[in-house]
Amino acid sequence: MPHKRSLLKLQGRIVRGIIFSYAFYDKLRGEVVSLLSRRDVLDLVNFNGFSIWVVPDVERGEVLVDARGKGSFQRTWEKAKAKLVSV
């Protein structure tokens, strides 16, 4: 029997896919920069039953992924370490 899939996780994957499909990939600096704001993302996913809580607070021009690991969509080592210690 297959595992039950979470609707919120599916919506989160859809939102991340939309954000990254409209992103600018800077090959010189090794960054992925958002070209959408939170309001733009909400306008793109405007159908009933969609939870607005899964849409992250992104701003136009925000660095999502960085070569140094300091992007807003990346986990820093300190956060991952704190999560491991708390478990």
The predicted-structure confidence for 2-18, as pLDDT tens digits, reads as follows 777 888 888 899 999 99
For residue 28, being part of any structural domain is answered with: yes
Per the structure, the count of domains in the chain is: 1
pLDDT digits (tens, 9 = 90+) for 33-79: 999 999 999 998 887 788 888 889 999 999 999 988 888 888 766 66
For residue 1, being part of any structural domain is answered with: no
| Strand-pair partners of 24 | 33
| DSSP helix, strand, coil percent of the chain (3-state; round to 5) | 40, 10, 50
For residue 56, being part of any structural domain is answered with: yes
Domain enclosing residue 79, as ranges: 7-86
- How much is the pTM? 0.78
As a whole number of angstroms, the distance between CA 36 and CA 68 comes to 22
